[in-house]
Amino acid sequence: MINRKPLEASLTAVKSAFPKAKPKMGMILGSGLSEVAESFEQLGVLSYAKIPGLGKAGVAGHAGKLVWGKSAGIETFIFQGRRHVYEGVGWEAVATPLFLLKSLGAKAVFLTNAAGGTNPKWTPGNLMIIEDHINMMGITPLLGAHDTFWGPRFPDQSFIYDRQLRAALARAGRAAKVALRKGVYFAGTGPTYETPAEVRAWRALGADAVGMSTVPEAMLANAAGLRVVGLSCITNMAAGILDQPLTHEEVFETSQQAMANMKKLILQFWQELAKEKI
């Protein structure tokens, strides 16, 4: 159950900070990816501390700022840092970006994350267009009393990751000469990384990448009628694929190495979005 009060308070705070904002796109930047916002023309910046539903982003590598920016003429709200289920602060912090975007008339949201690769042919630094997801969190943000803001009681999930936007992202990859993988993102709650046995099981179930985020946001955005497009930065091979332990430092370092490609890709993707007249 998502409590509407902090979400409404967030909307009031953002409207008073950026009274002229009319974002068409949203983007949520995952672990270590905050720097992507630097490629956008900046129209304003608001700390999460000033947005009641978001509060302070609690994880290293997450800047905790809302950047009101523009690229290819498209007004965009960039959430520099995300809130996660594993932080244990409730769904409101996870839902707030989607609530703000939908309430302010945005059409689509671009979800990014750092993920472990379960496909042994892939290497850290690869970028993956999310084609679909598997929710292994054992929980969804839509449990509880029905709130029509988030669409119907039983939201369809046949086409969460918008086909046209995925095609536009693939085109952007070709134009920017950034190689892209495609695959299925598999989400657990975290904060533990997976065990090698879990990684083998999840690979067998269809996972190409594993992570601790994105799925609740994609579910909420889809239910609320926002178009969704998603990209995973494969920051490490998932547990057990290599004979070495995983660390957040490794995740962060690889995301930094992939940053130049991420920025090139995203700038080109915004050009494609402009052609699509999103």
The contact set with ligand HPA (CB under 6 A) reads 114-116, 193-194, 210-212, 235-236, 238, 246, 251
**Catalytic residue at 131?**
no
CA distance 186 to 250: 20
**Catalytic residue at 193?**
no
Cβ closest to ligand HPA, residue 116 vs residue 141: 116
Helices (H), 50-132: 92-103
**Catalytic residue at 236?**
yes
Q: Is the dihedral of CA 143, 146, 148, 153 positive or negative?
A: positive
- Of 13, 21, 57, 84, the catalytic one is 84
- Of 62, 137, 194, 259, the catalytic one is 62
Cβ-contact 229, 161 below 8 angstroms: yes
**Catalytic residue at 261?**
no
**Tokens 């494969």 identify what position?**
234
**Catalytic residue at 115?**
no
Q: Is the dihedral of CA 48, 105, 170, 96 positive or negative?
A: positive
> Residue 3: is it exposed, middle or buried by C-beta count within 10 angstroms (0-12/13-18/19+)?
middle
**Catalytic residue at 84?**
yes
Cβ closest to ligand HPA, residue 194 vs residue 272: 194
Cβ closest to ligand HPA, residue 14 vs residue 115: 115
- Of 236, 237, 255, 272, the catalytic one is 236
We find the least distance from the C-beta atom of residue 252 to ligand HPA, in angstroms, to be: 9
We find the least distance from the C-beta atom of residue 122 to ligand HPA, in angstroms, to be: 12
**Catalytic residue at 133?**
no
Query: Could you tell me which residues are beta bridge partners of residue 209?
Result: 117, 185
Cβ closest to ligand HPA, residue 255 vs residue 268: 255
CA distance 218 to 38: 24
We find the least distance from the C-beta atom of residue 258 to ligand HPA, in angstroms, to be: 12
Cβ-contact 140, 219 below 8 angstroms: yes
Ranked by CB distance to ligand HPA, the top (closest) residue is 116
Cβ-contact 92, 2 below 8 angstroms: yes
Cβ closest to ligand HPA, residue 71 vs residue 255: 255
Residues marked as catalytic? 31, 62, 84, 86-87, 114, 212-213, 236, 248
